[in-house]
Structure 1
């Protein structure tokens, strides 16, 4: 219950919805207990009237006694039916309050988790797989809702019914009440013993389910690779193994739960036998009437469902606790990247790296070491280097996806860690190396950063990104629905749609992280020419592999193993005849061989 204590704030929030539900539980159980007392009166009435009927055997009054007897039984029958209907009405109200409130809490909890996910830094997503993240916000929350709704409802119902029935039993005959309830402590000990096993197995089930979800999500995301390498059978076998593990853990839990119900029914049946036996002795001693035995049997049977549901409720609570523990693990994760400054920011575009060093937190790999450079407002900075030299790391640090380990990054003279992060990112256009498009129309993908769908602006952004002609060739044009991750578009088309998405923001700073690798040279020149007009007087950072892409930049940085090997203009670096010159000559030779 320690993990479930996190939910108390929701119970407090919806207390005025839950409180009527508790009242309805109490009232409904009050009407559930009354029929047993009416049955007792009716049973005693039957005994008395049978004796009276026989006493007047042969007299005319015997017929009148029979008529009164029949009318009385009909009245008691109707009364029991009315009480059942009234109880049903309050049970309806009970479910309409408690169960509906659990849905409200489920809604709030899902939104809280999702909101927290969005605040967490990129390092968190590198450590955790998507399937596990999805499972915690869906399956785990659903299990928690079962605790907040049915489990709590039945728990309150059971407690109230137990209290009312025990009070009613003791008020009739203390000895008989004690004997009737004697098997219940045995039941309580059994539940206590099995609870720990259920909790352990519930946690294992959730872990297996997360693993299964991750496997499926990863397979479908990479389905093209799976089909290209003809690995369907291998993947299917892997899925079967994951499913088998989940099935075995689930069956193991079901086997433990299966012990509950026979034991509970045995204890309830034993209570009924004890009631008849001890009750019979008490009737012979004249301490109770035969109607009291009938009353006690009704009480014992009324306890049957609450007692049998006790195991199910216990299972719900234990599984909810296991799920909430997994949810709490992420909710307690504090974001590494925070936005400490709420003040608005007017971005100009000067960027300065001062002895920046950075290690990736999940791998410990040193990506940058003592990197220093400065971009003035309106300049075009180009970054080039071999794979793994740290180019994308610089782009991620500029967007403050991570915080530096040493040194500082200053934006317009202010440390990037002390400026309004949301305002900074809203004025910065970023085209990542790994293009991601949403399962939506092309127009909505381009206008992703906009509040409204302004088609003239969208079309102009598509033209600037040199993708307008391709879009117009589609049957639905800008309303063309692209599949998951833009699977219906080619690599070059995806890159250009992503560029259009960044351009449409009219950013003060534009960062291209090697996003022209899938376009031909002619299209690349067209895009760069358009960008020169769009980004006039604004700061641009262009990360590329091809020297031809960056030779017109105001400043070029050559990275090698996380350090700046060279920096300067194209002419300066060519005259220096160092690493940049070697790259240029090598690429020029490759192009000549291709032609």
Structure 2
């Protein structure tokens, strides 16, 4: 795998490219707010000791007598400084929000764009639910960490440094006592980090499995209902939900232990400072004003110390999410040849000793297959389920690459042809076509940007869809539900055929795409194709002999090999598998599947 992002930090910086200026401004104002927050305790301490009290001030330029008579001025100064801090925090929160949303936008756009370019085989190895999980929950986890924790890190460091500095000016002894708790909190945070990371990874993966089950059931709801599998699918969902819940409960145990330990240690630190500070006041080693100021600074110190522990803890969760997203971003995109070609696709297609298997240890789906499709002719492909018929077409469209052999168009190896050019010139209609949640007209015109309404009507006529559309209340503006759920199987197939016809590609592939229409409509569509797309090379895959019998050339496949080849009449004369299937179908039997 090409490691485009060799580390999590490289990926994070890549995603931050559009939002770093917002986070930068936000961090600057967070630091300013922290600095401003440290001023008021000093003013309060000075007021108690030198204005309300009579301790001599080292600040000779301040008229303590005047301020004692106009104490409201000190209050106004404290309020003014507090308001200035509030303004800085407002700008910080605003910039942080803008940065986090821009970050999420960049992450989603980058992920979606990259996923669109991944090879077809990648989708076989990764479930849709898990991909969605990575692109939603994991993205949100990274956003929360960067916007809520990482941006606070700089403010935490400033607060720690300045708090300890001001505290040391008041009492070195109490400062050492307070500072001794910092390594303890960092230490237990590092201890819990690994456990939190491991448990969160398990919970995150189980949530992905749960999402996959939900996604499968939502898209396959008609199958579930048709076979009455509601109880079985509910039980399967509940079982996985229990696994996910247990994993998340284990994760929650570690989080609870982590925060409880933090509360206990922080409370102990505050108690020690309060008690020891009071003892110093009783002994006369610390004034009341210094004691109040020190307690205030210590309160400011406790928050960043605990927040630093949370940063370390949340870093483990964010690290898991970044790893899961980095897996997607490092997945190899489809790549063209070093010098891709754009050739005339109206030429002969040759499969030259082509073999294919999905993985090295897997059996061959295709084994040494060779045949030629002449320019402009119609090829019929017949074969049992799993014989490799559809795989041939996936190889031609370069959704897969041959394990052995090569495929050429006009003598040019398709591996050297630019993929966009190849696929723009190959129309593909599947047995189970996918339709988008748009109008019927939009679905048909999706393959041709400049398609007119007249083009849509003409393509529908060739696909024998026009008659069905005439019965729709809204005609071509009829909304097609998700995956074409509002249409019948035959209407979906004919819509997909019209979708391909409108683009008028030089190569047209029908992968058992007439299986849901009756034989009369089947014949009508094939006749219309002959009349209107006679310049194109047509490849028809079917289990019906009636669909294939008019093809110029027919091949019969079994277990990944071509076992018969010829015209309809010559194959009937061979008395082989083709004739056997024809005889069964002509008698109204079941086709050989």
Structures share fold, TM-score greater than 0.5: yes
- Deviation string for 1:478-505 (max 9, x for gaps)? 1111222111111111110010111010
- Deviation string for 1:227-266 (max 9, x for gaps)? 2222222222222222222222222222222233343333
User: What's the counterpart of residue 217 of structure 2?
Assistant: 219
User: What's the counterpart of residue 244 of structure 1?
Assistant: 242
- Equivalents in 1 of 2:324, 2:505: separation in Å? 40
- Deviation string for 1:516-563 (max 9, x for gaps)? 111111111110011112221221111111111122211111112211
User: What's the counterpart of residue 24 of structure 2?
Assistant: 19
Give the CA deviation at 1:50.
11
User: What's the counterpart of residue 524 of structure 1?
Assistant: 522
User: What's the counterpart of residue 47 of structure 2?
Assistant: 42
Q: What does residue range 177-192 of structure 1 map to in structure 2 within 5 Å?
A: 177-192=175-190
- Equivalents in 2 of 1:337, 1:363: separation in Å? 24
- Deviation string for 1:88-111 (max 9, x for gaps)? 111121122233222222211222
- Equivalents in 2 of 1:536, 1:441: separation in Å? 29
Cα–Cα, structure 1 residues 363 and 102, in superposed 2: closer, same or farther, change >3 Å?
Answer: farther
1:494 to 474, 492, 495: 492
Q: Is the 8 A contact 1:446 1:504 kept in 2?
A: yes
User: What's the counterpart of residue 58 of structure 1?
Assistant: none
Give the CA deviation at 1:424.
1.3
- Deviation string for 1:116-161 (max 9, x for gaps)? 2112222111122110111111111111111221111222221111
SS in 2 for 1:430: strand
SS in 1 for 2:556: strand
- Equivalents in 1 of 2:306, 2:235: separation in Å? 40
Cα–Cα, structure 1 residues 34 and 76, in superposed 2: closer, same or farther, change >3 Å?
Answer: same
- Indicate whether 1:132 and 2:119 are aligned: no
- Equivalents in 2 of 1:303, 1:436: separation in Å? 59
- Equivalents in 2 of 1:97, 1:198: separation in Å? 30
1:271 to 260, 269, 272: 269
Give the CA deviation at 1:319.
1.3
- Indicate whether 1:28 and 2:28 are aligned: no
Give the CA deviation at 1:14.
4.2
- Equivalents in 2 of 1:245, 1:581: separation in Å? 54
1:317 to 315, 318, 338: 315
Give the CA deviation at 1:356.
0.6
Cα–Cα, structure 1 residues 492 and 363, in superposed 2: closer, same or farther, change >3 Å?
Answer: farther
Give the CA deviation at 1:299.
0.7
Cα–Cα, structure 1 residues 453 and 316, in superposed 2: closer, same or farther, change >3 Å?
Answer: farther
- Equivalents in 2 of 1:95, 1:486: separation in Å? 45
Which range is displaced more, 322-331 or 250-259? 250-259
User: Cα RMSD between the aligned structures?
Assistant: 2.5
User: What's the counterpart of residue 573 of structure 1?
Assistant: 571
Q: Is the 8 A contact 1:131 1:213 kept in 2?
A: yes
SS in 2 for 1:274: helix
- Equivalents in 2 of 1:242, 1:459: separation in Å? 48
- Indicate whether 1:548 and 2:546 are aligned: yes
SS in 2 for 1:333: coil
User: What's the counterpart of residue 106 of structure 2?
Assistant: 108
User: What's the counterpart of residue 3 of structure 2?
Assistant: none
SS in 2 for 1:510: strand
Cα–Cα, structure 1 residues 76 and 139, in superposed 2: closer, same or farther, change >3 Å?
Answer: same
- Equivalents in 1 of 2:398, 2:582: separation in Å? 31
Which range is displaced more, 182-191 or 342-351? 342-351
SS in 2 for 1:303: helix
- Equivalents in 1 of 2:344, 2:510: separation in Å? 22
Q: What does residue range 289-308 of structure 1 map to in structure 2 within 5 Å?
A: 289-308=287-306
Q: Is the 8 A contact 1:359 1:366 kept in 2?
A: yes
User: What's the counterpart of residue 60 of structure 1?
Assistant: none
- Equivalents in 2 of 1:330, 1:317: separation in Å? 20
2:415 to 412, 417, 422: 417
- Equivalents in 2 of 1:397, 1:196: separation in Å? 45
Which range is displaced more, 238-247 or 525-534? 238-247
Give the structure-2-normalised TM-score.
Answer: 0.92
Give the CA deviation at 1:175.
2.0
- Deviation string for 1:538-590 (max 9, x for gaps)? 21111111111122211111112211112122222223333322222222222
Q: Is the 8 A contact 1:261 1:311 kept in 2?
A: no
SS in 1 for 2:76: helix
User: What's the counterpart of residue 371 of structure 1?
Assistant: 369
Cα–Cα, structure 1 residues 99 and 5, in superposed 2: closer, same or farther, change >3 Å?
Answer: farther
Give the CA deviation at 1:169.
1.5
- Equivalents in 2 of 1:188, 1:372: separation in Å? 67
Q: What does residue range 187-586 of structure 1 map to in structure 2 within 5 Å?
A: 187-283=185-281, 288-335=286-333, 338=336, 340-361=338-359, 364-452=362-450, 454-586=452-584
Uncovered stretches (5+) of structure 2, i.e. residues with no partner: 1-5, 57-62
Cα–Cα, structure 1 residues 586 and 274, in superposed 2: closer, same or farther, change >3 Å?
Answer: closer
Q: Is the 8 A contact 2:18 2:102 kept in 1?
A: no
- Equivalents in 1 of 2:55, 2:407: separation in Å? 99
Uncovered stretches (5+) of structure 1, i.e. residues with no partner: 52-64
Cα–Cα, structure 1 residues 563 and 260, in superposed 2: closer, same or farther, change >3 Å?
Answer: closer
- Deviation string for 1:305-361 (max 9, x for gaps)? 333434443343221111111111222221466454455443223210001111123
Which range is displaced more, 169-178 or 453-462? 169-178
Q: Is the 8 A contact 2:465 2:491 kept in 1?
A: yes
Which range is displaced more, 525-534 or 248-257? 248-257
- Equivalents in 1 of 2:377, 2:429: separation in Å? 18
Cα–Cα, structure 1 residues 83 and 389, in superposed 2: closer, same or farther, change >3 Å?
Answer: same
SS in 2 for 1:116: helix
User: What's the counterpart of residue 149 of structure 1?
Assistant: 147
Give the CA deviation at 1:374.
0.9
